[in-house]
Chains A and B, each alone.
Chain A
């Protein structure tokens, strides 16, 4: 926040400020409406949905749609709710985030403090990799996963997410560690500290913020991924995003909109919570991930 605000904005006339606040509030309503609609729809009975309208408050709120979404709703031919897929995503996201973040941290450390001939070129190649549409790797990856018998498995999906997350995690840590003076590391080397000692004793203690950013970024990316999930898994191995899509777009039977909305909220809750609890790091991750090199 800068100093300019006081002098600059004191001059805005009162009517102008009224207009500004009105626009800001209307915008807030626009952004919030879909969330409001899915929340209230998820606690309405089907009857209430057909009798009322999109915005009407449920007179007899019920958690039945949530129970159904969690444990008995049908997606495709199976009717076990989204819970299996929710846990799939949990089992996928934890190792994938931890492994890719750990690699990113040591990679960033090497690329800033142990530079060698070609290390900058390597970083550039990795950076370009963040722009490449994943459609370019889907076919070969499907073949490779088949060859190493990891097709349609959480382990295979973890591998895919680790590999294609490395460029981002390395980028984050590299941009953070570049601010740590190399003299500090050189001095430690003269004192006899080795590669990992320096990492543990000098780099890690100051790294909490960048770990937060990277973990949150990777968590959201992997949790929200649909493309890898839909291409590399099928049936009971689907992550939650794919299961939700199948649930909502199943063509058979009566559309249970309230169950659909409850399932959508279940799929959204983890990342929404992360955003509400650690929004500051989430935003920093977004802006850092947006090519600031």
Chain B
């Protein structure tokens, strides 16, 4: 300590070094962000405007790739799938998460155990989640067979291999994986609600469900925001779960944009189109999540 001090005060160089140190320490991260994040984003946008196929090319193609993209039936399928998956996944995770959090907020014996059980799926990778659910939903040996063994011999539950229904199996697995996490978010929010407000409502004779509906839940706005932003991001980026559970199939029935991007950029040698689909994903995140973040930050600075 004293050595450093003497060094620093003895020479101007040491002094200047001390003043430079913070910036020096930050510079690797700064450079990484500039090059590997923002630089790469510009790079990918550029790629999407070229004729790159198997190898990157610098031949300008304007918006041609975006035209091809939106002329491509698989892309439309993946967008529609994302719509179905996203709405159901976000809606169900929020509803189940909030519901469980409210129940757990009722001075429950063994609350800690329930929390551990509800939340553990979040520790698992989506690949493991997908593998587990693929097994459970396997028509030959899974739930369908289980129910048939119970005597309901005509019971049918083959969603996993049914093109019309396969997308819903992804919803089941994804909700299983992250609803416990949403529960944890809401529980933390509930514990932060001001007691005085609730007590006042109780003295007024309001029933418990009524208090939750008109006092507690409205005050959880920031938690709703966090959960919504997070789940939206997760839905748009969904990739692993699909790879493990359905591989995008049957056919393209469970293709999502992330699968489209991977497939075209790295399997089919359509780099520019892959890049264009990635840009569309970025735009989607920006449009859906951006306003929320802006709104939140503005609200925060108002307070």
Contacts and interface: CB of A to CB of B under 8 A. Distances in A.
A183 interface: no
A268 B285 CA distance: 29
Nearest to A34: B132
Interface stretch (B57-65, B80-88, B101-109, B158-166): B101-109
A53 B125 contact: no
A290 B180 contact: no
B275 A244 contact: no
Contacts of A271: 123-125
A264 interface: yes
Contact of A23 (B37, B43, B103, B229): B103
B106 A20 contact: yes
A133 B281 contact: yes
Contacts of A151: none
A21 B8 CA distance: 65
B123 A272 contact: yes
A267 B127 contact: yes
Nearest to B230: A290
Contacts of A194: 1, 4-5, 8, 18, 21
A1 B111 CA distance: 12
B23 A116 contact: yes
A23 B244 CA distance: 30
B135 interface: yes
Contacts of A106: 25-26
Contacts of B131: 38, 244-245, 248, 260-261, 264
A116 B21 CA distance: 12
B49 interface: no
Interface string A1-29: 11111111101100001001101100110
Contacts of A283: 119, 184
Sort chain A's interface into a size bin. 35 or more
Contacts of A37: 132, 135-136
Contact of A34 (B106, B176, B229, B266): B176
Interface string B116-142: 111111111111111111111000011
B216 to A, nearest CB: 10
Contacts of B118: 27-28, 31
A249 B29 contact: no
B155 interface: no
Interface in B202-240: 202, 208, 226-227, 229-230, 233, 236-237, 239-240
Contact of B29 (A50, A126, A138): A126
A286 B184 CA distance: 9
Nearest to A170: B29
Contacts of A11: 202, 208
Interface stretch (A58-66, A70-78, A207-215, A219-227): A219-227
Given A110-B25, A133-B236, A291-B226, A55 B141 contact: no
B92 interface: no
B132 A264 contact: yes
Q: Which residue among A139, A194, A197 has the maximum number of chain B CB atoms within 10 Å of its CB?
A: A139
Given A20-B108, A54-B145, A122-B26, A31 B37 contact: no
A105 B1 CA distance: 21
A268 B244 CA distance: 14
A175 to B, nearest CB: 13
A197 B4 contact: yes
Contacts of B130: 245
B195 to A, nearest CB: 4
B174 interface: no
A32 B30 CA distance: 43
Contacts of B22: 110, 114, 116, 195
Nearest to A197: B1
A235 interface: no
A66 to B, nearest CB: 15
Contact of A264 (B8, B128, B277, B300): B128
A145 to B, nearest CB: 11
B285 A131 contact: yes
Given A248-B131, A287-B185, A137 B41 contact: yes
Top-5 shortest CB links A-B: A224-B125, A192-B5, A114-B22, A4-B195, A275-B123
Interface of A: 1-9, 11-12, 17, 20-21, 23-24, 27-28, 30-35, 37-38, 41, 49-50, 53-55, 103, 106-107, 109-111, 114, 116, 119, 122, 125-126, 129, 131-143, 163-164, 166-167, 170, 192-197, 201, 220, 223-227, 230-231, 241-242, 244-245, 248-249, 257, 260-261, 264, 267-268, 271-272, 274-276, 279, 282-283, 286-287, 290-293
Interface of B: 1-2, 4-5, 8-9, 18, 21-23, 25-26, 28-30, 32-33, 36-41, 43-44, 47, 56, 100, 103-104, 106-108, 114, 116-136, 141-143, 145-146, 149, 176, 180-181, 184-185, 188, 191, 195, 198-199, 202, 208, 226-227, 229-230, 233, 236-237, 239-240, 243-244, 247, 258, 261-262, 265-266, 271, 274-275, 277-279, 281-282, 285, 289, 293, 296-297, 300
Given A7-B202, A139-B275, 6 more contacts: A37-B132, A129-B38, A133-B258, A227-B239, A261-B131, A282-B123
12 contacts: A24-B108, A54-B142, A135-B278, A139-B47, A166-B32, A167-B33, A241-B127, A241-B128, A248-B244, A264-B128, A264-B132, A293-B297
